Amino acid sequence: MSYTVALAGNPNCGKTTLFNELTGSKQHVGNWPGVTVDKKEGAYKKNKEINVLDLPGTYSLSPYSAEEIIARDYIVKEKPDAVINIVDGASIERNLYLTVQVLETGIPTVIAMNMMDEVESRGDSIDCEKLSKIFGVPVVPIVARVGKGLEELMKVTGQVAAEKQKPNEIRIYEQNIEEAVEEIMDFLTEGSKDDRRWTAVKLLEGDEIILESLQPEQAKMVQEIVEKLDSQCQGDAEAAIADQRYRYIVQTVGEAVKKAHKGHAETGSSKLDKIMTNRVLALPIFALVMYLLFAATFSENFLFIPGLPSPGVWLAGIVETAWGALTGLVEGGLTAIGASDWALGLALSCMDGVGAVVGFLPLVLVLFLLLSFLEDSGYMARVAFVMDRIFRHFGLSGRSFIPLLMGFGCSVPALMASRTLENDKDRKITMMITPFMSCGAKLPIYMMFAVTMFADGNKTTIVFGIYMIGLLVAVLSAFLLGKIIKGNGVSNFIMELPSYRVPTLKSVLIHAWEKVKGFAVKAGTIIFGSTVLIWLLSNFNFGGMCDMEDSFLASIGNAIKVIFIPLGFADWRASVGIVTGWIAKENIVATFGQLFGGVSDEVVEAVSAGEQALPAITSVFTPAAAWAYMAFNLLCMPCFAAVGAIKREMGSWKWTLRTIGYQMVTAYVVAFIIYHLFGLFY
Amino acid sequence: MALAMVTIGETRTITELRVKEEMKKHLQDLGFNVGERVRVVGENPSGLILLLNGARIALNRGLATKISVA
CATH number of the domain at A74, please: 3.40.50.300
Chain A residues within an 8 Å CB radius of B28? 239, 242
With 80 as the cut, is the pLDDT of residue A424 above it? yes
Which of A274, A386, A496 is nearest residue B57 as measured by Cβ atoms? A496
**Domain shared by A247 and A311, yes or no:** no
B47 and A277 within 8 Å at the Cβ level: the answer is no
Closest CA–CA distance from residue A264 to any residue of chain B (Å):
7
Residue A505 has pLDDT above 50, yes or no: yes
Q: Are residues A309 and A195 in the same domain?
A: no
Instruction: Read off the pLDDT of residues B4-38 as tens digits, 9 standing for 90 and up.
Output: 878 788 899 999 898 878 788 889 888 899 999 99
Is pTM beyond 0.90? Reply is no
> Does the pLDDT of residue A195 top 70, yes or no?
yes
Instruction: Please state, in angstroms and as integers, the Cα–Cα distance from residue A565 to each residue in A401, A447, A663, following that order.
Output: 36, 24, 19
Please, are residues A363 and A312 in contact by the beta-carbon 8 Å criterion?
A: yes
Interchain contact B9–A (C-beta under 8 A): no
A278 CB neighbours in chain B (<8 A) are 44
pLDDT at A267: 61
Distance CA A113, CA A90 (A): 9
Cα three-residue angle A653-A659-A665, rounded to 5 degrees: 130
Please indicate whether, in this complex, the C-beta atoms of A495 and B56 are within 8 angstroms of each other.
Answer: no
- Mean per-residue pLDDT of chain A: 84
Name which of A104, A109, A82, A84 is nearest A3 in CA terms.
A82
* Domain co-membership, A113 together with A184: no
Q: For residues A415-434, give the mean pLDDT.
A: 87
One domain for residues A488 and A600: yes
Average pLDDT for A377-390: 88
Same domain, A491 and A445: yes
* pLDDT, tens only, A41-90: 888 988 888 999 888 888 888 776 677 788 888 898 888 999 999 999 98
The three-state secondary structure class of A137 is coil
What value does the CA radius of gyration of chain B take, rounded to a whole number of Å? Answer: 11
Assess whether pLDDT exceeds 50 at residue A30: no
- B2/A contact by beta carbon, under 8 A: no
What's the number of domains chain B is made of?
1
Based on the domain organization, do A142 and A249 belong to the same domain? no
User: For A24-42, what is the mean pLDDT?
Assistant: 56
Q: Do B53 and A385 touch (CB under 8 A)?
A: no
pLDDT at A36: 45
Domain count, chain A: 3
With 0-12 / 13-18 / 19 or more C-beta atoms within 10 angstroms meaning exposed / middle / buried, residue A306 is exposed
* pLDDT for position A35: 40
Same domain, A428 and A300: yes
Residue that terminates a domain, selected from A137, A163, A189: A163
Are A206 and A295 in the same domain?
no
Q: How confident is the model at residue A601 (pLDDT cuts 50, 70, 90)?
A: very low
Helix (H, G, I), strand (E, B) or coil at A145: helix
How close B18 comes to chain A (CA, Å)? Answer: 13
> Does A107 fall in a domain?
yes
Choose among A447, A460, A467: nearest CA to A301. A460
Q: How confident is the model at residue A31 (pLDDT cuts 50, 70, 90)?
A: very low
- ipTM of this complex prediction, to 2 decimal places: 0.93
Name which of A62, A273, A398 is nearest B49 (Cβ-Cβ): A273
Question: pLDDT class for A608, splitting at 50, 70, 90?
Answer: very low
Question: What is the structure's pLDDT at A489?
Answer: 64
**Domain boundary residue among A163, A183, A210?**
A163
Q: What is the CA radius of gyration of chain A?
A: 29
| Among candidate residues A131, A163, A195, the one where a domain is terminated | A163
Spatial distance between the Cα atoms of A325 and A378, rounded to a whole number of angstroms: 42
With CB atoms and an 8 Å threshold, state whether A90 touches B54. yes
What is the band of A26 on the pLDDT scale with cuts at 50, 70, 90? low
b/e burial code for range A260-287 (CB count within 10 A of at least 16 → b): eeeebeebebbeebeebbbeeebbebbe
Tell me how far apart the alpha carbons of residues B3 and B10 are, in angstroms, rounded to a whole number: 10
Determine the Cα–Cα distance for residues A428 and A430; give it in Å rounded to an integer. Answer: 5
Range of the domain at B27: 3-69
- CA A172/CA A167 separation, integer angstroms: 14
How many helices (H) and strands (E) in chain B? 2, 5
Strand, helix or coil for residue A658: helix
The per-residue pLDDT for A80 is 93
Nearest beta carbon to residue A278 from set B24, B41, B44: B44
Cα A71 from Cα A678, distance rounded (Å): 54
B53 by DSSP, 3-state: which? coil
- Rounded CA separation A538/A554 (Å): 7
Chain segment A291-340, per-residue pLDDT in tens: 888 788 777 777 777 778 888 888 888 888 898 899 889 989 998 988 88
Mean pLDDT value of segment A169-178:
88
Per-residue pLDDT for A394 more than 50?
yes
Q: Least CB-CB distance to A91: which of B44, B53, B63?
A: B53
Alpha helices for A257-310 (secondary structure H): 268-276, 282-298
A33 has pLDDT over 50: no
Q: Under an 8 A CB cutoff, do B58 and A493 touch? A: yes
Checking if the pLDDT of A602 tops 80, the result is: no
pLDDT at A615 over 80: no
Query: What is the Cα A431 distance to its own chain's centre?
Result: 12
Residue B53: which CATH number?
Answer: 2.30.30.90
Residue A247: exposure state from Cβ atoms within 10 A (0-12, 13-18, ≥19):
middle
My answer on whether A319 and A401 are in the same domain is yes
What CA dihedral angle connects A536, A542, A546 and A550, to 10 degrees? -100
Mean predicted confidence (pLDDT) in A402-412: 86
Domain that holds residue A17: 3-163
The answer to which of A174-188, A403-417, A655-669 has the lowest mean pLDDT is A403-417
Mean pLDDT of A107-133: 92
Residue A170 belongs to a domain: no
Tell whether the model's pLDDT for residue A167 goes beyond 50.
yes
Q: Report the pLDDT value the prediction gives residue B14, as an integer from 0 to 100.
A: 95
Binned at pLDDT 50, 70 and 90, residue A457 comes out as low
Residues of chain A in Cβ contact (below 8 Å) with chain B: 59-60, 62, 64, 90-94, 97, 238-239, 242-243, 246, 263-264, 269-270, 273-274, 277-279, 282, 381-382, 385-389, 398, 491-499
How far CA A583 is from CA of A88, A170, A202, A567, A586, in Å, comes to: 43, 55, 48, 22, 9
Res. A214: pLDDT tops 80: yes
In sequence order, the β-bridge partners of residue A4 are A51
CA-based angle A168:A170:A174, to the nearest 5? 155
Measured CA to CA, the distance from residue A614 to residue A621 in angstroms comes to 12
User: Is residue A113 located within the same domain as residue A240?
Assistant: no
pLDDT at A250: 80
Query: Within 10 Å of residue A609's Cβ, how many Cβ atoms?
Result: 13
The CATH number for A248's domain is 1.10.287.1770
> What pLDDT is stored for residue A161 in this prediction?
93
- Better-scored residue on pLDDT, A241 or A233: A241
Q: What is the pLDDT of residue A600?
A: 46
Q: A583 and A490 in one domain?
A: yes
Domain check: are A139 and A224 in the same one?
no
Whether A356 shows a pLDDT value over 80: the answer reads no
A231-239 long-range contacts, Cβ below 8 Å, gap at least 24? A232/A176, A233/A176, A233/A177, A237/A177, A237/A180, A237/A204, A237/A205, A237/A206, A238/A204, A238/A205, A238/A206, A238/B25, A239/B24, A239/B28, A239/B34
Contacts of B36 in chain A (CB under 8 A): 246
Buried b (16+ CB within 10 A) or exposed e, A390-408: ebbebbbbbbbbbbbbbbb
Whether the predicted pLDDT of A37 surpasses 80: no
A29: left (phi over 0), alpha (psi -120 to 50) or beta: beta
Is the distance from CB of A177 to CB of A241 less than 8 angstroms?
A: yes
Segment A271-279 mean pLDDT: 84
